[in-house]
């Protein structure tokens, strides 16, 4: 009876832990050939960068560091995703000083 109680207790504990655990569901990434509407649904914060009658480009800001930031660009042609790429932009933090020579007498 004591063993049965322990087994039941372990089973209830295990099932309770299984119910509380969250599943890691990742959003599917962009797929070549996906429509603009499906992209907008998956990425509502995407910014429209370029638009013509048969093409569009969207940008998603990803992250930044002390001297750079990263953007993802998605290129659509005829309503379908044709290409996507990640671009890293760097800040130029260098400081240049130009010193002029003092006037020399000839």
pLDDT one-digit tens code per residue, 17-28: 555 555 555 666
Helix (H) or strand (E) holding 4: helix 2-20
**Residue 11: per-residue pLDDT:** 73
* Domain parsing of the chain, residue ranges: 34-91
For the stretch 92-106, what's the b/e string if a residue is b when 16 or more beta carbons lie within 10 angstroms of its beta carbon? eeeeeeeeeeeeeee
Residue 74 burial (CB count, 10 A): 21
Rounded Cα distance between 5 and 40, Å, is 54
pLDDT in tens, 61-80: 988 777 888 899 999 999 99
pLDDT band at 7 (very low <50, low <70, confident <90, very high): confident
Residue 95 clears pLDDT 70, i.e. is over it: yes
Q: Is the pTM of this model over 0.85?
A: no
pLDDT band of residue 16 (cuts 50, 70, 90) is: low
């Amino acid at each position: 009876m004591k063993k049965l109680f322990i087994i039941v207790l372990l089973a209830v504990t295990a099932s309770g832990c299984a119910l509380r655990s969250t599943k890691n569901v990742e959003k599917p990434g962009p797929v070549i050939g996906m429509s603009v509407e499906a992209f907008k649904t998956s990425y509502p914060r995407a910014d429209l960068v370029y638009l013509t009658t048969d093409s569009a480009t969207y940008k998603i800001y990803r992250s930044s560091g002390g001297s750079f930031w990263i953007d993802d660009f998605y290129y659509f042609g005829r309503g379908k995703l044709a290409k996507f790429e990640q671009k890293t932009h760097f800040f130029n933090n260098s400081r240049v000083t130009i010193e002029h020579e003092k006037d020399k007498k000839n």
